[in-house]
């Protein structure tokens, strides 16, 4: 665990240093290369922005209108027989939509139910194993300018659902 943390901390500095050093050895004008590349980066983000805006509007209005609370209650009632805490259902629903909202909710769950409760542990594993799918889709598809996504989105959503079910099963098994 300590080793992995150290490796994580080392990864970026070593990479940047290595990249610049290699460039200098190969007699590349690294400063000019960097600025040229960064300029291209600005263009990419400008291209992503509309996709990001579209998805944020959809997600935020979904939460604000009460539709999110409704689907959460519905899912919780439907899952009632499996004894899954409402907190974990909330995390499972919000994580694919918003990274910052899920982090806030997770902190709140840990604070209110205690760090070693079933709700906290379930939420912790779901937090670590699910991704902010809609954000990733908006950013990556926007970056490449893809319009026709074929069967990608349904596969991602089904995989999300399966991932969350797996997380619940695994935690129940360990707990």
Partner 1 sequence: MNAIWVFLIGVSVVFAAANGRLEDFTKSIFDAARSAVEVSLFLLGIVALWMGIAKIIEDSGLIHKLSGVFRPLVCRLFKNIPADHPSIASITLNFLANLFGLGNAATPLGIQAMQDLQSLNKDPEKITAEMMLFIVINTASIQLIPFTVIGILADFGSQNPSWVVFPTFLATVLSAAFAVGALLVCRRILK
Rounded to whole angstroms, how far apart are CA atoms 8 and 59? 32
Looking at the Cβ atoms of 5 and 81, the one nearer to partner 1 is 5
Of 35 and 77, CB closest to partner 1: 35
Nearer to partner 1, 66 or 81 (CB): 66
In whole angstroms, the minimum distance from the beta carbon of 92 to partner 1 comes to: 12
Q: Kindly state the smallest distance separating residue 123's Cβ from partner 1, in Å.
A: 9
Query: From CA 70, how far away is CA 63, in angstroms rounded?
Result: 10
Neighbours of 59 (CB within 10 A): 20
Tell me whether residue 81 or residue 174 sits nearer to partner 1 (CB atom). 174
Using the minimum distance from each CB to partner 1, give the nearer residue, 28 or 77.
28
Q: Smallest distance from the beta carbon of 81 to partner 1, in angstroms?
A: 22
Q: Kindly state the smallest distance separating residue 85's Cβ from partner 1, in Å.
A: 16
Of 68, 113, 65, give the one whose Cα is nearest residue 88: 113
Instruction: Identify the helix (H) or strand (E) that includes residue 16.
Output: helix 2-25
CA–CA gap between residue 87 and residue 113 (Å, rounded):
9
What is the smallest separation between the CB atom of 96 and partner 1, expressed in angstroms?
A: 8
CA distance 90 to 112: 14
* CA distances from residue 80 to 23, 85, 86, 99, 175 in whole angstroms, order as listed: 60, 9, 9, 26, 19
């Amino acid at each position: 665990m300590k080793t992995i943390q150290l490796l994580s901390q080392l990864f970026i500095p070593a990479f940047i240093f290595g990249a610049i050093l290699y460039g200098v050895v190969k007699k590349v004008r690294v400063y000019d290369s960097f600025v040229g590349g960064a300029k291209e980066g600005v263009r990419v983000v400008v291209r992503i922005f509309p996709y990001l805006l579209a998805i944020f509007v959809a997600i935020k209005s979904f939460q604000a209108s009460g539709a999110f609370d409704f689907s959460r209650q519905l899912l919780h009632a439907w899952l009632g027989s499996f004894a899954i805490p409402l907190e974990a259902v909330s995390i499972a629903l919000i994580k694919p939509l918003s990274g910052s909202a899920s982090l806030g909710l997770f902190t709140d769950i840990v604070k209110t139910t205690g760090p070693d409760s079933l709700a906290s542990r379930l939420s912790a594993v779901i937090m670590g194993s699910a991704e902010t799918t809609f954000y990733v889709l908006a950013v990556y598809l926007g970056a490449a300018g893809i319009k026709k996504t074929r069967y990608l989105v349904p596969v991602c959503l089904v995989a999300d659902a399966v991932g969350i079910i797996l997380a619940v099963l695994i935690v129940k098994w360990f707990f």
